[in-house]
Structure 1
Amino acid sequence: MALEATHRYDDIIDLPHHVSRRHPPMSRHNRAAQFMPFAAVAGYDQVVAETARSNDHDMALADTPVDGLAEGWVPA
């Protein structure tokens, strides 16, 4: 699918940016807050943190050297 050149906005593309006389511009802080993530699923952060903690614990156990004696293995 080839892109076609369109000229639908040629009449407005070079117009100056509109600045309202009635409404003051929004502060950068308030504008940025509109795009911040929100908690769409309650408790999701806690589940992720618990999973990470559990995985860290499991990885630490996997990295622990095992001599075989702790599991009841006795050399023959």
Structure 2
Amino acid sequence: MALTETHDYDDIIDLPHHQSRHHAHMALSGRAAQFMPFAALTGYEDVLNRTVRANEEAIAKANTPVDLADGYTSA
């Protein structure tokens, strides 16, 4: 597809930039904050760490040798 010159927007290309009369201009820091990573999963790392810790404790308990003298019997 070849590029062809069009004049579709000649009527608006040189118009001044719109400035709202109702909303204040947003500061650059506010505009930049819109593009910061979304933190929907705040606390997710804490949940993962608690789960890992609980699983490691359960594995350690399951791997602890059993003393048959303590009344352990197999089912």
Q: Place the TM-score, normalised by the shorter chain, in its bin.
A: 0.3 to 0.5
* Structure having the higher Rg: 2
The two structures have a TM-score, normalised by structure 2, of 0.47
